[in-house]
Amino acid sequence: MKKVNYRNLPSQLSLLLLALLLTFSINLNAQDTSAVADAEAIADVAPADAGGDIAAGEQLFNANCASCHKLDKKSTGPALRGVASKHDREWLYKWISNSTELIASGDSKAVQLFEDNNRSVMTPFPALSNTDIDNILAYTSQPKPEPTVAQLPTNGGGEGDSGVSNNLILGVLALVFLMLVIMLFLVTKTLRRIAEANGVEYPKSEKHTPLWKAFAENQFMVLVTSIFLLLVAGYFMYGYFMQVGVDQGYAPVQPIHFSHKIHAGDNQIDCNYCHSSARKSKTSGIPSLNVCMNCHKNISEYAGDVNPEEGYTIDFYNAEIKKLYAAVGWDEATQTYTGEEKPVEWVRIHNLPDFAYFNHSQHVSVAGIECQKCHGPVEEMEIVGQFAPLTMGWCINCHRETNVNIAGNEYYEKIHEELSKKYGVDQLTIAQMGGLECGKCHY
């Protein structure tokens, strides 16, 4: 009765397979529904209405107050979450429409507040109606959102899910493949048994000399293979030695994790704001920390997109901003400089050897080349790396291919007239202008 067993095996296996697939798909669905449930849970936590339009309040707050106030942290002014329950409404109307007047009137609460905050003056807002103020206070009265829950929708749970399900699909596919192999093996085995039982003759494999022995005895084959191996080795050695001293892709860890993607990409800060000397001088330079503080006096917390899979969480980014504060000696609590500075030692990435001369302003301002042409899509880089090889061949290639930009440059117009006659062309390349002369790039 063995035969019967074997004949049933394939169908038994496929049943098992089906069952497995079903369990996996149920798991996947279960994940989806739990995500939906989470989202609903968030909606449930919606804040209690404190007698005002929260959305309108948020807009007013961001437009008028956010430059000095944060909800949960001291900035120029105190944190404002829950301030509505701290003072009575009438007092708040007066304070917000003109705090200076209230202080001058001798109101003890107002004077105390003023003294407690280094006597900084709050802007008067006579234009805000009481309803506006009610709206703002409704916004500041919202309960603090739970950080873990709040992050769920922003970091696009979809990404995580698709990662998991991709792995699952791969796993299932591998399993299916393995089962197919086993099934095939069993089928041949069964067929052979049947054939044997029925007395059918089939050719059996005969004994050959092993392949390696045949190969080793054939001198021609050995010669051809050796030559082939030598050529491959030579090719890779050449590639390896040409790489020596070329640091393409070099992206060191910096003392402060400064993301160009967040600054130049998400927030569209112009390269020239920080690398201002690129247009005017030989070097591009790295901005001093004072430049950072133009913005970071007020940006002490990160609230943009995160990528927890790579370890880039809100906490990570906030800790990096703290490093900036430590380096410039900025005390957040008092909003003053302590005077204790320790300069940040940025690791230099692009570095030509001393014997080569490269000038940024000539390329950026005179020739009008985009930074990205040589540095790649920096605005997409979380960590900057060297994009171009910076070899002599790289410089020369571009000088051969690029035409001189003569528009609006009297000096070039003259030279261009003479040289274009000499070469008999309409457009001169940098090479024809002398961009290949050793002395131009070598001291």
Q: Using CB under 6 A, which residues numbered 280 to 309 contact ligand HEC?
A: 283-287, 291-292, 294-296, 299, 302-304
**What are the DSSP calls for 297-364, one per residue?**
TT--S--S--BGGGTB-HHHHHHHHHHHHHHHTEETTTTEE-S------PPP-----TTB---HHIII
Q: Which CB, 163 or 285, lies closer to ligand HEC? A: 285
| Contact with ligand HEC (CB under 6 A) among 378, 416, 428, 432 | 378
| Contact with ligand HEC (CB under 6 A) among 373, 415, 419, 420 | 373
Minimum gap (Å) between residue 371 Cβ and ligand HEC:
3
Within 254-273, which residues bind ligand HEC (CB under 6 A)?
Answer: 254, 256-260, 262-264, 267, 269, 271, 273
Within 163-202, which residues bind ligand HEC (CB under 6 A)?
Answer: none
Q: Which CB, 199 or 353, lies closer to ligand HEC? A: 353
* Cβ-contact 383, 251 below 8 angstroms: yes
- What are the tokens at 47? 């804040």
Minimum gap (Å) between residue 172 Cβ and ligand HEC:
38
Does position 374 bind ligand HEC by CB under 6 A?
A: yes
Q: Which CB, 188 or 405, lies closer to ligand HEC? A: 405
Contact segment (CB under 6 A) with ligand HEC among 24-32, 65-73, 179-187, 330-338 equals 65-73
Q: Which CB, 32 or 413, lies closer to ligand HEC? A: 413
* Cβ-contact 262, 361 below 8 angstroms: no
- What are the tokens at 294? 């133009």
Within 387-406, which residues bind ligand HEC (CB under 6 A)?
Answer: 390-392, 394-396, 398-399, 402, 404-405
Within 226-255, which residues bind ligand HEC (CB under 6 A)?
Answer: 245-246, 254
Q: Which of 36, 39, 29 is nearest to 165 (CA)?
A: 29
Q: At 429, is the secondary structure helix, strand, or coil?
A: strand
Q: Which CB, 122 or 138, lies closer to ligand HEC? A: 122
Per-residue binding letters, 80-99, with ligand HEC (x by CB under 6 A): x--x--x-----x--xx--x
Residue with tokens 């301030």: 83
Does position 138 bind ligand HEC by CB under 6 A?
A: no
Return d(Cα 126, Cα 324) in angstroms, integer: 37
Minimum gap (Å) between residue 71 Cβ and ligand HEC:
11
Does position 112 bind ligand HEC by CB under 6 A?
A: no
Q: At 159, is the secondary structure helix, strand, or coil?
A: helix
Minimum gap (Å) between residue 261 Cβ and ligand HEC:
8
Residue 129: alpha-carbon gap to chain centroid:
43
| Contact with ligand HEC (CB under 6 A) among 73, 74, 94, 363 | 363
* Cβ-contact 359, 366 below 8 angstroms: no
| Contact with ligand HEC (CB under 6 A) among 125, 179, 307, 419 | 125
Q: Which CB, 254 or 420, lies closer to ligand HEC? A: 254
| One-letter amino acid for residue 61 of the chain | F
Give the DSSP H/E element, type plus range, for residue 85. Answer: none
DSSP 118: T
* Cβ-contact 3, 193 below 8 angstroms: yes
Q: Give the binding-site size for ligand HEC (rule: CB under 6 A).
A: 105
Within 12-41, which residues bind ligand HEC (CB under 6 A)?
Answer: none
- What are the tokens at 110? 């107002």
Does position 142 bind ligand HEC by CB under 6 A?
A: no
Q: Which of 388, 387, 410, 402 is nearest to 435 (CA)?
A: 402
Q: Which CB, 190 or 298, lies closer to ligand HEC? A: 298
Does position 114 bind ligand HEC by CB under 6 A?
A: yes
Q: Which CB, 190 or 307, lies closer to ligand HEC? A: 307
Provide the strand spans (E) within 91-231.
none
Minimum gap (Å) between residue 42 Cβ and ligand HEC:
21
Minimum gap (Å) between residue 48 Cβ and ligand HEC:
19
Phi/psi for 320 (5° steps) reads: -70, -40
DSSP 203: P
Half-sphere exposure of 172 (CA within 13 A, CB side): 18
Phi/psi for 307 (5° steps) reads: -140, 75
Provide CB contacts within 8 A for 248, sequence distance 6+: 386, 387, 388, 389, 390
| One-letter amino acid for residue 293 of the chain | M
Contact segment (CB under 6 A) with ligand HEC among 69-77, 199-207, 215-223, 235-243 equals 69-77
